[in-house]
Amino acid sequence: MENNVLIFGHKNPDTDSICSGLVKERLNKKLGKENCKAVRLGKLNKETKFILDYLKLEEPELIESVNEGQEVILVDHNEFNQSAEGINKAKILEVVDHHRIANFETSEPLYYTARPYGCTSTILFEEYKVKGLEISKEEALLMASSIISDTLLLKSPTTTEYDKKALEELEKIVGIDIKEYGLEMLKAGTDLNDFSAEELISLDAKSLDKNGTKFVIAQVNTVSIEDVLKRQEELEKAINEEITSKGLELFVLAITDILNSNSEIIALGNKVEAVEKAFNKKLENNRAFLEGVVSRKKQILPNIDKNI
């Protein structure tokens, strides 16, 4: 593996992280860069498994750390605390991302593509177009799936005109009803019944650090917030254990209704007042309902971050 350039997204990988890694591998190989390999930094969620099963693709190999000097390409993230162990000593060749830039430093120059789009795969779609490369049906569905996931079928406020245009063109290449496929895909990811509370709160969790204040914002998608809240007691127990073990000041779990575009949050820790200030809401039973809020990146994180 050391001879390969490893391509990977963030820990607790979501669909964009996995699919963008696979797409970037295919894109590079079309450009003659054969020695690259997409890998993953965690367990796949059910939504991503649905996509890989649909395409009959194997899961990328799981890694937890990288060796000193290992050549890597980061997709869908840049913050070192969200990346592989040892990333600070790896040789980062390239980053393709749509998030803020934080806690990131390299010793050598690199290729860095960051655009404020709804999805990393939208950036990769534009790379194909700029380089005049043909997009296969498999590549098109991987990118379309990423866009559907990150923008909740273009309903999230993170959605841009670039995402809409990309999905429209990708739908033509794939040749299926992308809305019908997308709803089936999103619903596949909301089956949470066989996850433990510990697994639920870490399915899609982002660890953050602001001036030494460590906090986590996690998110799960569902078609019934009420069903998830039936497990509030065990979820809070798992969250409190995470706070203690990792020395966190705050843990926020956003339970997002993908059909009605609302979220209910559970917030625990010493800094819960930051959440109350962020949304001008008093937590009741450690919870608050956020109407119209579905995006962690654009609606939840920025508001909390500036109140920490």
Own/partner long-range contacts of 113-119 (Cβ < 8 Å, ≥24 apart): 114/78, 115/162, 116/160, 117/160, 117/162, 117/163, 118/147, 118/150, 118/151, 118/156, 118/158, 118/159, 118/160, 118/162, 118/163, 119/16, 119/20, 119/146, 119/147, 119/149, 119/150, 119/151, 119/163
Q: What is the largest CA-CA distance in the chain?
A: 57
Q: What is the pLDDT of residue 193?
A: 84
- Judged on CB neighbours under 10 Å (0-12, 13-18, 19+), 259 is middle
pLDDT value, residue 259: 87
Q: At what angle do helices 137-151 and 178-188 cross, to 10 degrees?
A: 60
Strands 71-75 and 5-8: parallel
Q: What is the pLDDT of residue 191?
A: 87
Alpha-carbon gap, residue 183 to 70, rounded angstroms: 39
pLDDT score recorded for residue 145:
98
Do the two domains 5-187 and 197-305 of this chain adopt the same fold?
no
How is domain 197-305 classified at the CATH fold level? Diaminopimelate Epimerase; Chain A, domain 1 (3.10.310)
- DSSP H or E run through 287: strand 287-290
Question: For tokens 């971050």, what's the residue?
Answer: 305
Q: How far, in whole angstroms, is CA 193 from its chain's centroid?
A: 21
pLDDT value, residue 2: 58
**DSSP H/E element including 254:** strand 250-257
DSSP symbols for 1-21? -TTSEEEE--SS--HHHHHHH
Across the strands, what pairs with 61?
A: 39
Predicted local distance difference test score (pLDDT) of residue 1: 57
**Residues 55 and 138: beta-carbon distance below 8 Å:** yes
- CATH classification (class only), 5-187: alpha beta
Both tokens assigned to 141: 């569905």
* Residues 252, 301: Cα–Cα separation, whole Å: 10
DSSP 3-state assignment of 54?
helix
Per-residue pLDDT of the chain in tens (308 residues, 90 and over written 9): 557 999 999 999 999 999 999 999 999 999 999 999 999 999 999 999 999 999 999 999 999 999 999 999 999 999 999 999 999 999 999 999 999 999 899 989 999 999 999 999 999 999 999 999 999 999 999 999 999 999 999 999 999 999 999 999 999 999 999 999 999 999 998 988 889 999 999 988 999 998 889 999 999 999 899 999 999 999 999 999 999 999 999 999 999 999 899 999 999 999 999 999 999 999 999 999 999 999 998 999 999 999 98
- The domain locations on the chain are 5-187, 197-305
Predicted TM-score (pTM) of this structure: 0.83
Is residue 123 helix, strand or coil? helix
